[in-house]
Amino acid sequence: MIAELFLSGIVVWLAGAMASLALWRQPAAARRVTCGAALAGSLLDLAASAAAIFSGSPAVIGLPFGNPVFTWAVRLDPLSAYFNVTLAVLAAAVSLYSFGYLREMEGRRNLGAFGFFFNLLLLSLALVFTASNAFFFLVAWEVMALSSFFLISFEHEKEKTRNAGVLFLIMSHAGSGLMLIAFLVLASASGSLDFSSFHLLASRMPALQQGVVFLLFLFGFGVKAGLVPLHIWLPEAHPVAPSNVSALMSGIVIKTGIYGMARVFFDFYGAPPVWMGTVVLAIGVASALLGVLYALMEHDLKRLLAWHSIENIGIILMGFGAALMFRALGHGNLAALALIAALYHTFNHAMFKGLLFLGAGSVVQATHTRNMEKMGGLIRRMPVTALCFLVGAVAISGLPPLNGFVSEWLTYQALLAGFGTTQSLTRLMFPIAGSLLALTAALAAACFVKAFAIPFLALPRSAEAAEAREASFPMRAGMAVLAVGCVALGLGATWFVRVFDPITQQALGVRASSALVMARGLALSPGTAHGGTISTAGIALIFLLAGAAFAVPLAMRWSRRSVKGPVWDCGLPGLTADNEYTATAFSKPLRMIFSALYRPRREIQAEFEVSPHYPSAIRFESEIELTFEKRLYGPLRERIMAMANRMKGIQAGSINVYLAYIFITLILLLLFGVRG
């Protein structure tokens, strides 16, 4: 049954891609086929993957073509099925949303081409998560990369969009090259390309070789995940893509890098050296902190969300790093706790970041701008979108009782437990990482106060914002699915944690849910018999009671007869949009505190009509320095271009010279062969 459901989903996605392309001259039909096939395929994939998790045994499905060397087979084990469930839930919500979102593009865009690459992306993602050998994995990976490139570049008439697409493609192929080298090293050692032959293989290699393979995989998958300093494509590509694609890119495409790391770290390796976990933990801390710091300075709503993807990938890597360190030190239960925290946050991030990007897409479609400074007052015109966006903002800020709180709280538990269970100086990494995670969460909360308040509260700052209309019903339904998911994953944490038992059994040989879940909630001190518990349902009840305590008196006052009057405006003749707090002003204190990182540049220009003492207009411009782009990739690009210019002399345009090149190459190869 699992095989039939999974293959049916693949067939539906493939049929949807081909049918959408065939209907490119009929945009309305192409839209319905695109979204309908994507939704149906996602539901079939969800059913197959959920059944695979609970079945307890991997489902291996051989595809009817290939040869003994390059086989085409998929394997739904607990780890791959978990990532497929994440894909299916997010893709179903995005597909539902797209029924309304794509309607605005009918007659203006080629929805047939969009539908082809959209369904192809979903198909390739499912195959990436389930490919059972390196060859099939890399083929699916490349299809995913090319599909993503065409979807990112969908509005290709814009220069920024084209540049972002090219940057994504370059970085993606650089990462693929690193992965290819690592897979070839493993294949040469095992004599096979099948993942089953790689099981624990890396740990049996010489220390230098296993370290090199580890770093190749870390940075190869890290490009796709958006780890610092390999992140530069992410804040460029996510904002320019259509918003439904942005939700998929941030929610699940970058998670292919996380899946790859999980597969390598916990399947290809046994107990690794401690330095590997330390490196992963340090990179995770840097990605989380720098991601949220740069997000705080953004005024582009979608670019702000893109930076927060880097932050949350860093939080996931903190869990992976702690799990690797615990495994190296022989603490299996703590390794399972850290792994559960990382994988839980993977699912949670897909839910709330997908929700936030869909909410941002509704706002951008209504206001025709991504600049928050030109929004404002949207809560009155788009109340459902505002509510859904608020749910996502609370979840990503790690506030109870939503899902982001649970996975971040489990990460804290793992990091704090690490200090007392290790004896070397390595244990200092755990409290340092925990304190920086707390700082990251606080900064994220501050950032989403800005991200919600500036667009949705106060008065409209532009005519477009003043005339904005609520999103269509399918768009609201898609956001509502993810909003409900954020609530359910938070309140139902004690049930959901049990889903990870097959995964931790597969990866670490232990089942940790019994140490995490107690009668009254999640254990405050996992593994102890007398520790306290925390109940997300209890926290929710407290919030509801507190809300009722405020709401009841207000409702009683509202029921009385009242007279409307002007809002108190501090004695001013009338409040306008010019009196509102801006995103720039909101983030200035933090820009001053972290000025060593931001290196801000400010410019003030005043215009005068009569007297220099009475300016008629003042313009203030401020921008920050993107450190990695300017100080790492800028010089690297200049050196590559200089080398390319020097190499242009090789292209003489003469056939005789080219024949001479071939002749010299053959002579060198013959000499090398004789010497060998």
Q: What's the rounded Cα separation, in Å, for the pair 575 and 514? A: 57
* Residue range 183-232, pLDDT digits in tens: 999 999 998 889 989 998 988 899 999 999 999 999 999 999 999 999 99
195 C-beta neighbours (distance < 10 Å), count: 25
Q: Which of 282, 525, 325, 529 is nearest to 422 (CA)?
A: 325
**Predicted local distance difference test score (pLDDT) of residue 527:** 47
**Predicted local distance difference test score (pLDDT) of residue 529:** 42
What does the mean pLDDT of the chain come to? 88
Stretch 417-444: mean pLDDT, rounded?
87
* Residue range 305-348, pLDDT digits in tens: 999 999 999 999 999 999 999 999 889 889 999 999 999 999 99
CA 256 to chain centre: 10
How far is residue 362 from each of residues 54, 385, 420, measured CA to CA in Å? 36, 7, 47
Q: What's the rounded Cα separation, in Å, for the pair 415 and 432? A: 9
* Residue range 511-556, pLDDT digits in tens: 887 777 655 556 655 544 445 556 666 666 666 676 677 777 766 6
Stretch 4-17: mean pLDDT, rounded?
94
Stretch 100-106: mean pLDDT, rounded?
92
Q: What's the rounded Cα separation, in Å, for the pair 58 and 196? A: 12
Q: Among residues of the chain, what percentage have pLDDT more than 90?
A: 61
C-alpha torsion sign, points 97, 101, 106, 112: negative
**Predicted local distance difference test score (pLDDT) of residue 304:** 96
* Residue range 551-579, pLDDT digits in tens: 777 666 666 666 777 767 777 667 777 77
Q: What's the rounded Cα separation, in Å, for the pair 671 and 668? A: 5
Q: Which of 384, 355, 113 is nearest to 246 (CA)?
A: 355
* Residue range 603-651, pLDDT digits in tens: 788 887 777 777 877 777 778 888 888 888 888 888 888 888 888 778 7
Helix locations, 26-110, DSSP H = 27-55, 78-101
* Residue range 145-179, pLDDT digits in tens: 999 999 999 999 999 999 999 999 999 999 999 99
Q: Is the pLDDT of residue 381 over 60?
A: yes
* Residue range 15-47, pLDDT digits in tens: 999 999 999 899 999 999 999 999 999 999 999
CB burial class (10 A; 0-12, 13-18, 19+) of residue 586? middle
Q: Which of 462, 415, 675 is nearest to 577 (CA)?
A: 462
* Token couple for 335: 């390794």
**Predicted local distance difference test score (pLDDT) of residue 266:** 94
68 C-beta neighbours (distance < 10 Å), count: 5
**Predicted local distance difference test score (pLDDT) of residue 535:** 62
* Token couple for 108: 């203006």
* Radius of gyration over every alpha carbon of the chain, rounded to an integer in angstroms: 27
**Predicted local distance difference test score (pLDDT) of residue 145:** 96
| CB 266 within 8 Å of CB 508 | yes
**Predicted local distance difference test score (pLDDT) of residue 401:** 86
The HSE-up count of residue 567 (CA atoms within 13 Å, CB side) is: 6
C-alpha torsion sign, points 264, 251, 280, 597: positive
**Predicted local distance difference test score (pLDDT) of residue 606:** 81
Identity of the residue numbered 512: A
**How would residue 127 be classed by pLDDT, with cut points 50, 70 and 90?**
very high
**How would residue 504 be classed by pLDDT, with cut points 50, 70 and 90?**
very high
How far is residue 495 from each of residues 210, 489, 523, 536, measured CA to CA in Å? 38, 9, 13, 11
**Predicted local distance difference test score (pLDDT) of residue 326:** 93
Identity of the residue numbered 184: L
Q: Is the pLDDT of residue 674 over 70?
A: no
622 forms bridges with which residues in the sheet?
A: 602
**Predicted local distance difference test score (pLDDT) of residue 561:** 63
**Predicted local distance difference test score (pLDDT) of residue 435:** 94
* Residue range 447-470, pLDDT digits in tens: 999 999 999 998 899 999 999 999
C-alpha torsion sign, points 327, 435, 492, 85: negative
The number of helix segments (H) and strand segments (E) in the chain equals 28, 7
The HSE-up count of residue 432 (CA atoms within 13 Å, CB side) is: 11
pTM score above 0.85: yes
CA angle at residue 318 from 537 to 239, to 5 degrees?
A: 85
Q: Please report which helix (H) or strand (E) contains residue 425, including its range.
A: none
Would you kindly state where each structural domain of the chain is located, as residue ranges?
Answer: 594-625, 633-675
